[in-house]
Amino acid sequence: MKIRRIGIDTSPDNTAFLLRTGNGYSPEQFQALRKIEIGDGSVTILATLALVDDTGLLGKGEIGLGEQAFRRLGLPEGTKVSFRQAPVPHSLEHVRRKIDGDSLDDNDIREIIEDIAAFRYSPMEIGAFLVACASFMTTQETLALTRAMADAGRRMQWAADIVVDKHCIGGIPGNRTSMIVVPIIAAHGLTMPKTSSRAITSPSGTADTMEVLASVDLAEDKLIAVVEQEHAVLAWGGRVNLSPADDILITVERPLRIDTFEQMVASILSKKIAAGSTHLVVDIPIGPTAKVRSQREAIRLRKLFEYVGHKLGLVLDVVFTDGTQPIGRGIGPVLEARDVMAVLRNDADAPADLRERSVTLAGRILEFDPALVGGRGYARAMELLGSGQALAAMERLIDAQGRRKEVLKPGEFHHEICAPHEGVVTMIDCHVIARIARLAGAPMDKGAGIDLLRKVGERVRADEPLYRIHAHSEDGLGYASELALATSGYLVTP
Is the peptide bond preceding residue 12 cis, with omega within 30 degrees of 0? yes
Angstrom distance (rounded) from CA 349 to CA 331: 17
Residue 24 CB, shortest distance to a copy of itself, in Å, is 12
Among 69, 255, 270, 281, CA closest to 163: 281
Residue 367 CB, shortest distance to a copy of itself, in Å, is 37
Residue 442 CB, shortest distance to a copy of itself, in Å, is 12
Residue 31 CB, shortest distance to a copy of itself, in Å, is 9
> Judging by beta carbons within 10 Å of its beta carbon (0-12, 13-18, 19+), is residue 30 exposed, middle or buried?
middle
Amino acid at 132: A
Residue 316 CB, shortest distance to a copy of itself, in Å, is 27
Contacts of 263 (CB under 8 A, 6+ apart): 130, 133, 134, 249, 253
Angstrom distance (rounded) from CA 208 to CA 408: 13
Question: Which residue number, 67 or 416, has a Cβ lying nearer to a copy of itself?
Answer: 67
Question: Which residue number, 256 or 491, has a Cβ lying nearer to a copy of itself?
Answer: 256
Backbone φ/ψ region at 444: left (φ over 0), alpha (ψ -120 to 50), beta: alpha
Question: Which residue number, 21 or 426, has a Cβ lying nearer to a copy of itself?
Answer: 21
Q: What are phi and psi of 19, to 5 degrees?
A: -60, 140
Alpha-carbon distances, residue 280 vs 194, 211, 275, 305 (angstroms): 11, 24, 11, 10
Backbone φ/ψ region at 332: left (φ over 0), alpha (ψ -120 to 50), beta: left
| Residue 247 bears catalytic tag | no
**CA 120-112-302 angle, 5° bins:** 130
Residue 293 CB, shortest distance to a copy of itself, in Å, is 14
Residue 132 CB, shortest distance to a copy of itself, in Å, is 5
Question: Which residue number, 201 or 229, has a Cβ lying nearer to a copy of itself?
Answer: 201
Among 474, 458, 477, CA closest to 417: 477
At how many degrees (to 10) do helices 106-117 and 139-152 cross? 40
Inter-residue contact 330 to 174 (CB < 8 Å): yes
Neighbours of 352 (CB within 10 A): 11
Question: Which residue number, 89 or 183, has a Cβ lying nearer to a copy of itself?
Answer: 89
Task: Choose, from 13, 217, 259, 322, the residue flagged as catalytic.
Answer: 259
Residue 101 CB, shortest distance to a copy of itself, in Å, is 7
List of residues contacting a copy of itself (CB under 8 A): 6-10, 13, 15, 17, 20, 26, 28, 48, 50-54, 56-57, 66-67, 88, 92, 95-96, 99-101, 122-128, 130-132, 134-136, 252, 255-258, 444
Angstrom distance (rounded) from CA 283 to CA 304: 14
Question: Which residue number, 185 or 265, has a Cβ lying nearer to a copy of itself?
Answer: 265
Question: Which residue number, 48 or 324, has a Cβ lying nearer to a copy of itself?
Answer: 48
What is the bridge-based pairing of β-strands 44-52 and 15-19? parallel
Question: Which residue number, 304 or 366, has a Cβ lying nearer to a copy of itself?
Answer: 304
Active-site annotation, residues: 259
